[in-house]
């Protein structure tokens, strides 16, 4: 897998077939312990095909097909490589097994469904037609149906053919290591670190939660600057206002950067910092909780972090109405954070420590499985005075049409949705689909870096029909 960031915007509204697309590799690709594709390698490709929504008369969902076909090592010439897009990181967009990006139907959000029930209740009133228009056109909003990936959007690519390259003897990532004396003096500190955090409970004892898998050497300012430079956002504190904001994000199928995190503690102490990275889907995000330790090392502050990746919303789990489910292979999130901060040039050293006492297979406080190799990533931070920039200019690619065009598009999409789905046959199909999906996914947690699996809707719907109507 190749984890990359776009260096320029691409979208279904304004991009055209043949337009160039470039991305930069943000995590090393290794083979047998050797780095064969270092961070900073450039990935080249082009827009293969585009399907835009326009006014919504013909198409109900947008799609975008990107083809990546060559790689250039830092300072080197490009060489051919066939790659397939696997996922849009923390995005609501679906990537098909063939690598095509498809936007979900904008009228399928929870908010739109609720508005339908409200409208049905209002039909008992004399002014039913006015109430219907008010609910659908004024109160209810729909997500942007066009696909838009700004510069900095993170994608996962998979090599679909073999490439021949040479191992990089000493890259920046390989050479950023602590000295032997520093490792020796750090060993007793690491041996005393807690293994995991705990979720507080009101009426019972606290429950084991996320594993401690990162150690930071540096000040609060250095860590905060590093995460900001790497594109992360500090999470908000949980308040009534933030809860309402998160509820609207879920209802209207959009992102919520800075969404609060559920409480976790170490030795009865709440986190000193919480950081997260997301795109346009509130159910998915990278996140980490950080605690400052009482002891120091060579006069520098020490911080421990528990990092996991949220992959979907779970309901009625462990006494909670709603909570996130996490990726089972938690080491991926540890590596993600370590490589994000080193790619931003905000860490002077990166080491990996084995912790034999850490359980290799366990569960968090909400019952999700967590699998780990037991290693701890150790990062020594710097002041990050000159972080690496992905792009030097702001995106100028249009996202959508003018205001009156967007209003007209919304009315057309809502009208199409009512014509096709405001009947008992569709409601029966939709209910059956939700029930089957819930049963199938009850014990399976999505793998965010795995190719998309066909679902019930995609199996029932011919590929050629997706441009006209969406069953998803």
pLDDT tens string, the chain, 472 residues long: the values are 899 999 999 999 999 999 999 999 999 988 877 888 999 999 999 999 999 988 888 888 889 999 999 999 988 889 999 899 999 998 888 888 888 898 877 777 666 666 666 666 655 554 565 666 566 555 556 678 899 999 999 999 998 888 777 666 554 544 467 778 888 888 899 988 999 999 887 656 778 899 999 999 999 999 999 999 999 999 988 778 877 887 778 777 778 888 888 889 998 899 999 999 999 888 899 999 999 999 999 899 999 999 999 988 777 666 666 788 899 999 999 999 999 999 999 998 899 999 988 999 999 888 888 999 999 999 999 999 999 887 656 788 999 988 888 888 888 888 888 788 877 888 787 778 778 777 766 667 777 877 666 666 666 666 666 656 666 5
Between CA 13 and CA 141 the distance in angstroms is 19
Please tell me the CATH code under which domain 2-105+145-167+403-467 is placed.
Answer: 2.40.128.260
Contact in structure between 277 and 227 (CB atoms under 8 Å): no
Place of tokens 């009625």: 316
Beta-carbon contacts of residue 72 (< 8 Å; ≥ 6 apart): 41, 42, 44, 78, 79
* Start-end of CATH 2.40.128.260 domains in the chain: 2-105+145-167+403-467
Between CA 135 and CA 430 the distance in angstroms is 22
Predicted pLDDT of residue 410: 85
Predicted pLDDT of residue 174: 45
Predicted pLDDT of residue 423: 79
Interhelix angle 403-421/424-440, rounded to 10 degrees, is 90
Strand partners, 297: 300
Structural tokens at position 306: 């528990």
Q: Alpha helices, DSSP H only, in 55-179?
A: 110-122, 128-133, 172-175
The number of beta carbons lying within 10 Å of the beta carbon of residue 54 is 18
Strand partners, 234: 275
Task: State which H helix or E strand residue 239 sits in.
Answer: none
Contact in structure between 263 and 195 (CB atoms under 8 Å): no
């Amino acid at each position: 897998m190749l984890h990359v960031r776009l260096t320029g915007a691409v979208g279904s509204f304004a991009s055209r077939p043949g337009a160039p697309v470039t991305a930069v590799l943000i995590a090393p690709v290794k083979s047998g312990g050797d780095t064969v594709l270092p961070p900073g390698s450039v990935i080249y490709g082009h827009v293969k095909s585009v399907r835009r929504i326009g006014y919504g008369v013909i198409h109900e969902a947008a799609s975008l097909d990107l083809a990546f076909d060559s790689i250039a090592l830092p300072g080197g010439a490009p060489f051919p490589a066939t790659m397939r897009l696997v996922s849009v990181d923390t995005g609501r967009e679906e990537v098909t097994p063939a690598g095509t990006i498809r936007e979900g139907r904008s009228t399928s959000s929870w908010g739109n469904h609720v508005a339908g029930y409200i409208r049905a209740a209002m039909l008992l009133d004399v002014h039913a037609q006015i109430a219907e228009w008010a609910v659908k056109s004024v109160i209810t909003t729909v997500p942007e149906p066009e696909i838009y990936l700004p510069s900095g959007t993170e994608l996962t690519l998979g090599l679909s053919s073999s490439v021949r390259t040479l191992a990089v003897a000493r890259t920046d990532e390989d050479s950023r290591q602590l000295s032997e004396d520093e490792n020796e003096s750090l060993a007793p500190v690491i041996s005393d670190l807690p293994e995991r955090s705990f979720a507080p409970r009101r009426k019972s004892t606290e429950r084991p939660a996320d594993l401690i898998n990162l150690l930071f050497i540096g000040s609060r300012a250095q860590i905060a600057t590093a995460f900001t430079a790497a594109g992360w956002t500090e999470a908000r504190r949980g308040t009534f206002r933030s809860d309402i904001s998160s509820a609207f994000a879920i209802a209207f199928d959009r992102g919520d950067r800075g969404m609060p995190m559920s409480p976790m503690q170490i030795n009865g102490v709440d986190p000193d910092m919480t950081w997260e990275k997301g795109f346009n889907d509130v159910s998915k995000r990278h996140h980490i909780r950080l605690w400052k330790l009482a002891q120091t090392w060579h006069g520098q502050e020490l911080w421990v972090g528990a990092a996991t990746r949220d992959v979907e919303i779970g309901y009625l789990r462990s006494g909670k109405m709603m909570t996130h489910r996490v990726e089972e292979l938690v080491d991926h999130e540890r590596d993600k954070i370590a490589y994000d901060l080193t790619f931003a040039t905000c860490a002077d050293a990166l080491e990996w420590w084995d912790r034999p006492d850490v359980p290799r297979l366990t569960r968090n406080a909400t019952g999700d499985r967590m699998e780990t190799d037991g290693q701890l990533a150790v990062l020594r931070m710097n002041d990050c005075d000159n972080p690496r920039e992905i792009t030097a200019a702001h995106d100028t690619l249009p996202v959508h049409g003018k205001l009156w065009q967007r209003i007209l598009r919304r009315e057309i999409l809502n009208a199409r949705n009512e014509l096709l789905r405001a009947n008992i046959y569709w409601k029966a199909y939709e209910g059956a689909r939700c029930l089957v999906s819930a049963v199938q996914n009850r014990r399976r947690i999505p793998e965010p870096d795995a190719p998309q699996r066909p679902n019930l809707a995609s199996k029932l719907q011919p590929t050629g029909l997706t441009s006209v109507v969406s069953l998803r």
